[in-house]
Structure formats: structure tokens, C-alpha cells
Structure 1
């Protein structure tokens, strides 16, 4: 299944996974861009960078097999396998980044909005009883099932 076939599949977990990759890219880019503020916004930037690091291993299952990580970290990532768990994780991360606007409105809000969109796609996939399907471009189903 190619990228275009994945878009036509109407499986919201695939849409969410691609939005998750966008969240990773925005997380690293905006986290680094905003870390140079010399105020409390630096805290949200560091947290966004940590979230992006965790999302790399959650959304790209191949990296969990390749990169040396601790057994505790692997166990935590393995618990985030269902659509509802992923939706909850993204919702918490997204709301936390949007709360940064209460202190100082910045581009961190964009990462929060994309994370909330990802959470909503995972929630819709859960409500429609769609199984989590990993994109073949990001590690495929065979790798995802070896990890789980």
C-alpha cells in the first residue's frame, strides 16, 4: 500500500500517524526555535522537545527496534498501542502546549494544535472501531506487530 492508497483507505489511525509525524517535525523545529527565549517559555520549549523525542518512538516503531533504549522506556512505549491511548497522549501534550499561550503567545501553539488534531483522528479511529494500522512507510505492520 503506497502513500496515496493510505490516504484513500479512510482509516483515521493512518491519518493520525501522518499527523503525528508532522507533530514530531514541528516539535523539534519549534522547540529549538523557542528555546532561545530568556523567560519561562523556555520550559515549554524543553517539554516540547521531550515530547517530540517520545513521539519519534511511538509513531515510528522501527526505531524502537534499532535504537538502544532502556527496558523501562520500551515498556512505556509499548503501553501506548491503542487508538484511545494515543489520543489521550496527544491530547495531554497538545493542551499543555496550548497552555503556553497563557504566559506568552508564541509559535508553540501550532505544535499544540497539530497534536490536538492528531488526538482527534486517533479518537475518531477508536470510535469507528478501526484497528491501529501502521503506515508501511514508517515501519510497516510487520515491525509494529513484532514490537507489540
Structure 2
């Protein structure tokens, strides 16, 4: 399945996964950009979120990166649409809370994290199976590596 076919599939879990990849880039960039601002703690949380999302959304990285079995077990919890939606909501909460201290670009990360949560929630409500993008290492690509 090509990228274009994935987007035409009308499976909201694929939309959520691609929005999650966008969140990885946004959280990393905005975390670094705001680390020397007055929202240091929230920037660090945003950076940590980006690294967690890398392993959740790009499954073949668990096979090629040396990680502990505890970390692997933690990441493997997020295999259903509902668990991923909950994870994205939990990751967006600190970014929304950063508004209490100061309005910053971390708001963009919070909005896109919520978009990804919405897509995964929609996939769960429509009873769509979680389907990982082949481009990102889903559906057999991770098994072919090892």
C-alpha cells in the first residue's frame, strides 16, 4: 500500500499515525526552541514526549535501537486506538498547562497532539482496527528486519 493509498483508505488510525509523526517533529522542534524561554519544564516534557512518540509511531525502531525490556513493555501497551488516544491526550495536558505560565508556541504541539488523539478516538469509535503505515514500519516490515 502506497502512501497515497493509505490516505485514501479512510482508516482513521493511519491518519492518527501520520499526525503523530508530525507531532514528533513539532514536539522536538518546539521543545528545543523554548528550552531557554521561561517555560523550561514544559519544553523538557515536550522533548521527552517526542522521543516516546518516536518509538510508539515508528515500530521498527524498537527492533533496531537498544532499549530495555521495561521500556519495550511500556511502549507495547499502546497498540490499540483507545490506548493511543489516551496517550496523546495525556501528552497534550502539560502543553496546555504551559499556558498558565506563559503563552508560547508549545500551544501548537498541544493542538496537534489533540488532533492525533481525535483521529485515534474516531478510529476506535468506528471499530476500525489499528493499521500501521507500511512506510513507518507497520504490517510486516518490522518482522522482515530481524
> What's the TM-score, normalizing by structure 1?
0.94
Q: CA deviation at 1:99?
A: 1.3
Q: CA deviation at 1:144?
A: 5.7
Look up the match of 1:116. Answer: 114
- State the distance in 2 between where 1:4 and 1:15 align: 12
- State the distance in 1 between where 2:143 and 2:79 align: 10
- State the distance in 1 between where 2:20 and 2:52 align: 11
- May I ask how many residue pairs the two structures share in their alignment? 144
- State the distance in 2 between where 1:69 and 1:143 align: 19
- State the distance in 1 between where 2:89 and 2:138 align: 25
Q: CA deviation at 1:96?
A: 1.9
Bigger proportion of residues as helix: 1
Q: Does 2:39 correspond to 1:35?
A: no
Gaps of 5+ in 2: none
Checking the alignment, whether the CA contact within 8 Å between 2:96 and 2:110 is kept in structure 1 is yes
- State the distance in 2 between where 1:84 and 1:70 align: 25
Look up the match of 1:24. Answer: 24
- State the distance in 2 between where 1:110 and 1:144 align: 31
- State the distance in 2 between where 1:101 and 1:135 align: 33
Gaps of 5+ in 1: none
1:38-85 deviation line (CA, Å, top 9, x unaligned)? x3x100000000010000000000101000000100000011110000
The DSSP-based 3-state class of the residue aligned with 1:137 is coil
1:82-136 deviation line (CA, Å, top 9, x unaligned)? 0000000001111221111111000000000000000000000000000000001
> What's the TM-score, normalizing by structure 2?
0.95
Look up the match of 1:61. Answer: 59
Q: CA deviation at 1:140?
A: 2.4
The DSSP-based 3-state class of the residue aligned with 1:73 is helix
Look up the match of 2:3. Answer: 3
Look up the match of 1:15. Answer: 15
Note the aligned Cα RMSD (angstroms).
1.3
